[in-house]
Copies of this chain bind each other. A is one copy, B any other.
């Protein structure tokens, strides 16, 4: 199953934030939109990603500067991304290896969606059901 299959269902909306926004503003945007990560953009370019984890660590470290510390100071700069044509298994590998919960989807360097670890588990569950059925049929056909 491909990343595109997840985007077909959930759509291509990605909540972005400027790198000059503050921790406090980022927390509010995440809560309002009920998302676990914001993609940090500069014009059309993806320059970072900010997940719940970075906000919590920002709160722990910058207690008295929540209205001044910018997103750029907390975001992860090495953004792991995939194309819509990649397999979801690869997304699982990237999430495990880089300990990340959200992977932006880029097509020709344009942001076309985001896949969360929750999306991956949900789709993997559906794929599991499908596999069980296909294998059962294949077994009886060969037998």
Interface status of A125 (Cβ within 8 A of chain B) = yes
Indicate which residue in B60, B99, B121, B143 contacts A30 across the interface (CB closer than 8 Å). Answer: B60
Which of A1-9, A11-19, A49-57, A78-86 makes up part of the contact surface? A49-57
1/0 per residue A15-44: CB within 8 Å of B?
000000001100110111000100000000
Interface status of A112 (Cβ within 8 A of chain B) = no
> CB-CB < 8 A to A23: which residues of B?
59
The answer to whether B125 touches A93 (Cβ under 8 A) is yes
Kindly state the separation between the CA atoms of A128 and B120 in the bound complex, as whole angstroms: 14
The answer to whether A24 touches B59 (Cβ under 8 A) is yes
> CB-CB < 8 A to A121: which residues of B?
92, 95-96, 117, 120-121
> CB-CB < 8 A to A117: which residues of B?
101, 117-118, 121
Interface status of A122 (Cβ within 8 A of chain B) = yes
Indicate which residue in B28, B95, B118 contacts A96 across the interface (CB closer than 8 Å). Answer: B118
> CB-CB < 8 A to A143: which residues of B?
142
> CB-CB < 8 A to A51: which residues of B?
52
Interface status of A63 (Cβ within 8 A of chain B) = yes
Interface status of A66 (Cβ within 8 A of chain B) = yes
Residues in A lying within 8 Å of B, measured CB to CB = 23-24, 27-28, 30-32, 36, 51-53, 55-57, 59-61, 63, 66, 89, 92-93, 95-96, 99, 101, 117-118, 120-122, 124-125, 128, 135, 142-143
